[in-house]
Amino acid sequence: MSNLADSSRPTRPAIAWIGLGIMGSPMAENLLKAGYSVTGYTLEADKLERLAAAGGTAADSIAAAVADADVIITMVPASPQVEAIAYGPDGILENARPGALLIDMSSITPQTSVDLAEAAGDKGIRVLDAPVSGGEAGAVEAVLSIMVGGNQADFDAARPLLEALGKTIVLCGPHGSGQTVKAANQLIVAVNIQACAEAVVFLEKSGVDLAAALDVLNGGLAGSTVLTRKKDNFKNRDFRPGFRIDLHHKDMGIVTDAARTVGAALPVGGLVANLVAALRAQGDGGLDHSALLRGVERLSGQPTAG
């Protein structure tokens, strides 16, 4: 990782972290635990206080956060937010030093990542798109799956840092490839959650003990990380957000648009995208995506809870 810093700087690169939400805060804290210095910026004052309490440094602007950084990591909700923090006189590209590495870990459109890499290259700034999967629990436990797009040399340099955040770290191809794989991930997760939600309602209406049924299902071919992570949400109707329906709705828009562009049919994915959109329209956008269960309950004439 030393090639991210010049000879006058410490061996470990100085990190700027932009975006300290549900995912960003625990991820930044894991870098602090791994011995990195982290200067953070976000819009919520309480998140900056949390970073400072964990040993990081709070900055009062993007420019201040990135000015001396070797590596800049961004974790914000969607493409418009990435563009807002990256471009313009107060943005990352105008204030980061040449040679810095920008790692965008947001989930955005592949084209946004390609455009960002091109614009950053004109400033001498290297870029990786590196969205993640694993949700809040994966972020806290530092076991995220990280899918990366960009150059091999930049990936190799960033890998030690990424290993403080996740367990499965793969270079998927050139700029934008990480986002394409993340879109596929979100497709699989949404379909899986929907299938689990339908099974839960079917089991309960059939009078089967739900806890016992989910345990045995998860031990066979129907088992999945989704079921492991979300079965307590289903059983307890606990839909506190780990990953909000609003964000999964955004991601389903990304995957359906990208699939249309390349001519890939998503018959099941399109249906689940509509079910996610419907749940959001019913006012459940701020709930965890396991709340797809509420949509199945409504369709089944069953009172919703949680």
Is there a contact between 13 and 160 (Cβ–Cβ < 8 Å)? no
CA gap 148, 132 in Å, rounded:
9
Instruction: Considering only CA atoms, give the Rg of the chain.
Output: 20
Token pair in block for residue 233: 């949400």
CA gap 162, 164 in Å, rounded:
5
Token pair in block for residue 25: 């805060």
Indicate which residue of 47, 182, 230, 250 is catalytic. Answer: 182
Q: How far is CA 6 from CA 71, 78, 97, in A?
A: 12, 33, 12
Q: Is 231 a catalytic residue?
A: no
CA gap 289, 51 in Å, rounded:
27
Q: How far is CA 36 from CA 33, 59, 71, 112, 195, in A?
A: 7, 16, 11, 28, 41
Kind of pairing between the strands at 71-74 and 57-58: unpaired
Is there a contact between 149 and 112 (Cβ–Cβ < 8 Å)? no
Q: How many other CB atoms are there within 10 angstroms of residue 208's CB atom?
A: 12
Catalytic residues: 182
